[in-house]
Structure 1
Amino acid sequence: MTSAEDLTLSSPEFVISSAARRVVVTQRFFDEAAIGLLAENGCEVVIADLPPGQADGDLDQATLETLLTGADGWIVGHARVTRDLLTALPGLKVISRRGVGYERIDLDAVRDLGRVACIAAGGNDASVADHTIALMLALGRRFRESQDRMLTGNWSILMGTDLYRKTVGIIGLGRIGRSLIQRLRGFEARILVLDTGRGSQDAAAGDLEFVSLSELLAQSDYVSIHAPLTPQTRFMIDAEALAQMKPTAFLINTARGGLVDDVALLDALRAGTIAGAGLDTFVSESDPGYRPVSDALLALPNVVGTPHAAASSREGLDRSNRVAALCIVDVLQGRTPPAACVVADGRTLTPA
């Protein structure tokens, strides 16, 4: 864990007066336009200067308390927002995630303590959907395996497989799942959907087939996960689920580590139960004890891995930064951010 003495704060050159509302940003790649938007709306913007290789999810509570003392707003990445932390920061009014997952935020504590928690809904949908397509193509056409062989002097051709007119199973039909569907239509894919409860408005779409998890796993050439991580969805793709997939099928996870049992996935890949996996998220992100499993997965030739980077295009980060900043401004100016962005609002509770 990073301690307070390892970390410094920096303020942009156009920070306004000390009487301004203080907004602390503990995310990297927070762009000048988003900083300017906050400053123009009466906020003093303070950027946490994290040590190389560190993210705010690596910071302990004492360090976070030091960073956030006096803050009215916090733009956060993967730090855990706990009841103890919020209690220690009575002036913190709004927590705004530059992202869409919120499993690390204690929503009950946010409500109980009268705070507001937001996500950057709509900011990274396109970026994650593009990344998912990239993983599908890389796996099907065996990009990694081909380049590794070429580096050893072996330029023989490996036979790949198309995405064109394949059956793609999508688990979860939120914003990213729907963005992926738009792209898959260009490949003339047959699209199977397991609706986890957020996409029922799309049930009338003629080219979507709503199926059970078992049907989706058994029929799909590519299975792509876009569900939230909850106690109910944790390890939803386990050894039993993997055994239902085709031996020629690929698994893609650009959602959350913990939706897939990585130990079971490693066993399945080694046994040839499935053909390969594209992984942007790993259990080891939240449980370091799984790091050897992640390393073993990444060493396999039929795994393409990225470090939870699907949302991190320049354009996606700029959009997400702006949405996160606008949520901060709305709350600090007494308004309610767009409904899709608000995951907890304790201001609406009437004290007992």
Structure 2
Amino acid sequence: MSSPLRSPVDVLVTIRFFDAEAAARLEARGYRVIRADIAYDELDTKITVGIERALETAHAWILGTPPVTRELLERFPRLKVIARRGVGYDSIDTAAVKSLGRLLTNTPGGGEPAVADHALAMMLAVGKRLGESHQRMQADDWRAIVGGELFGKTVGLVGFGRIGRMVAKRLKGFDARVLVFDPYLDHSSAEASGVTQCGLNELLAQSDFISLHAPLTPETDRLINTQTLALVKPGAILVNTSRGELVDETALLQALEAGRLGGAGLDVFAGEKDPGARGIAQKLLALPNVVGTPHTAASTRESLARANALAADCVAAALDGLEVPRHCIVSDGRVPQAA
């Protein structure tokens, strides 16, 4: 089906690893896919000159994590659809999207399985001390390092959305006891998932592994800090595959250096957005009991293909005037069409 808008209709794509199949889904419906000149070393967190130039003609934008402000939306009135590949949208002014009559979508279901896998991989890697063993062997030191098991342990999940539920499901294979802190989780849902609800303090005090799966909000900003880390069970392992800002990294570094924690697995860091925080990140990564990855939990071939296809389909549906999948709509300021 061709687009009802006058040709050519540009769809700007500023994400890495946007596959040819996803682009073909748009091109088959008459849209022109534009790739901006992206500074990939900036991890898609800045608006480059190439992006701004492309936004002058774009009707839709498939993006990662650049800031989308009211000022930017007002400067580019042709831009009607913003499609976030991923789930989080804390870098986008959702209120401005709605008040200016635009549409913001995301891609729930695309990356969640990969992130859940990554969270468990972090638990196992830090607990089994794989990084330390690898480094020793590189130095021709073949002495064994004694690690710990995930089997039979208590795992605390902070946040129990789609990813948290997938992590809990995977943990059943390890006979783990799963505690959950999520103010929005009802008792029946927790019971059906086989997890135990509790307060944050109780979770921190009892968990051998603590895995963060909460969105970044004013309530969760630096949720893990000096005060909450003081409550953590000695020797526990912290895993963060959510947002770097959930953790006060200076406090985490101090807790690790003091030996209060057994280690940390970190896929996200405050330094992703704040260059001033890179120094703390480097100090964390230098510790032998820290395993770090550069926000790649959702970066699998399968995950990216699912998310790319869903973002493309949301854009095409919106531009064609068709119904956009409701579970993908984050903020919608479009005027409803008359029946």
Q: Say yes or no: TM over 0.5.
A: yes
Q: What per-residue deviation string (whole Å, max 9, x for no partner) do you get for residues 217-237 of structure 1?
A: 000010000000011110001
Q: Tell me whether 1:339 sits opposite 2:295 in the alignment.
A: no
Q: Is the 8 A contact 1:223 1:250 kept in 2?
A: yes
2:125 corresponding residue in structure 1? 138
Amino acid at match of 2:33: V
Q: What per-residue deviation string (whole Å, max 9, x for no partner) do you get for residues 303-343 of structure 1?
A: 00000000001111111101111111121112342222111
Q: Partners of 2:46 and 2:331 in 1: how far apart?
A: 24
Task: Please report the TM-score for the alignment, with normalisation by the length of structure 2.
Answer: 0.94
1:27 to 6, 12, 15: 15
1:64 to 41, 51, 56: 51
Root mean square deviation, CA, Å? 1.8
1:212 corresponding residue in structure 2? 199
Q: Partners of 1:70 and 1:197 in 2: how far apart?
A: 41
2:71 corresponding residue in structure 1? 84
Q: Is the 8 A contact 1:224 1:253 kept in 2?
A: yes
Q: Is the 8 A contact 2:85 2:308 kept in 1?
A: yes
Q: Is the 8 A contact 2:36 2:51 kept in 1?
A: no
Equivalenced residues, count: 333
Q: Partners of 1:88 and 1:64 in 2: how far apart?
A: 13
Secondary structure of the 1:340 match is helix
Q: Tell me whether 1:162 sits opposite 2:149 in the alignment.
A: yes
1:273 corresponding residue in structure 2? 260
Q: What per-residue deviation string (whole Å, max 9, x for no partner) do you get for residues 50-77 of structure 1?
A: 24523321335x5532121111110010
Q: Tell me whether 1:37 sits opposite 2:57 in the alignment.
A: no
Q: Partners of 2:219 and 2:166 in 1: how far apart?
A: 24
2:298 to 311, 314, 330: 311
Identical residues among aligned pairs (%): 49
Q: 1:287 to 1:268 in 2, by over 3 A?
A: same
Matches within 5 A, 1:262-301: 262-301=249-288
1:13 corresponding residue in structure 2? none
Q: Is the 8 A contact 2:19 2:305 kept in 1?
A: yes
Amino acid at match of 2:7: A
Secondary structure of the 1:169 match is strand
Q: Partners of 1:282 and 1:291 in 2: how far apart?
A: 8
Consecutive unaligned residues in structure 1, runs of 5 or more: 1-16
Matches within 5 A, 1:109-120: 109-120=96-107
Task: Please report the TM-score for the alignment, with normalisation by the length of structure 1.
Answer: 0.91
- What is the CA-CA distance between 1:256 and the residue it aligns to? 0.4
Q: Tell me whether 1:53 sits opposite 2:45 in the alignment.
A: no
- What is the CA-CA distance between 1:242 and the residue it aligns to? 1.0
Q: 1:51 to 1:156 in 2, by over 3 A?
A: same
Consecutive unaligned residues in structure 2, runs of 5 or more: none
- What is the CA-CA distance between 1:207 and the residue it aligns to? 2.0
2:228 to 237, 241, 257: 241
Greater Cα shift, 89-98 or 50-59: 50-59
Q: What per-residue deviation string (whole Å, max 9, x for no partner) do you get for residues 5-45 of structure 1?
A: xxxxxxxxxxxx99132101000100011001111122111
Q: Partners of 2:6 and 2:219 in 1: how far apart?
A: 46
Q: What per-residue deviation string (whole Å, max 9, x for no partner) do you get for residues 200-231 of structure 1?
A: 66223262100000010000010000000011
Greater Cα shift, 259-268 or 41-50: 41-50
Q: Partners of 1:206 and 1:331 in 2: how far apart?
A: 35
Amino acid at match of 2:307: S
Q: Is the 8 A contact 1:98 1:320 kept in 2?
A: yes
Q: Tell me whether 1:231 sits opposite 2:213 in the alignment.
A: no
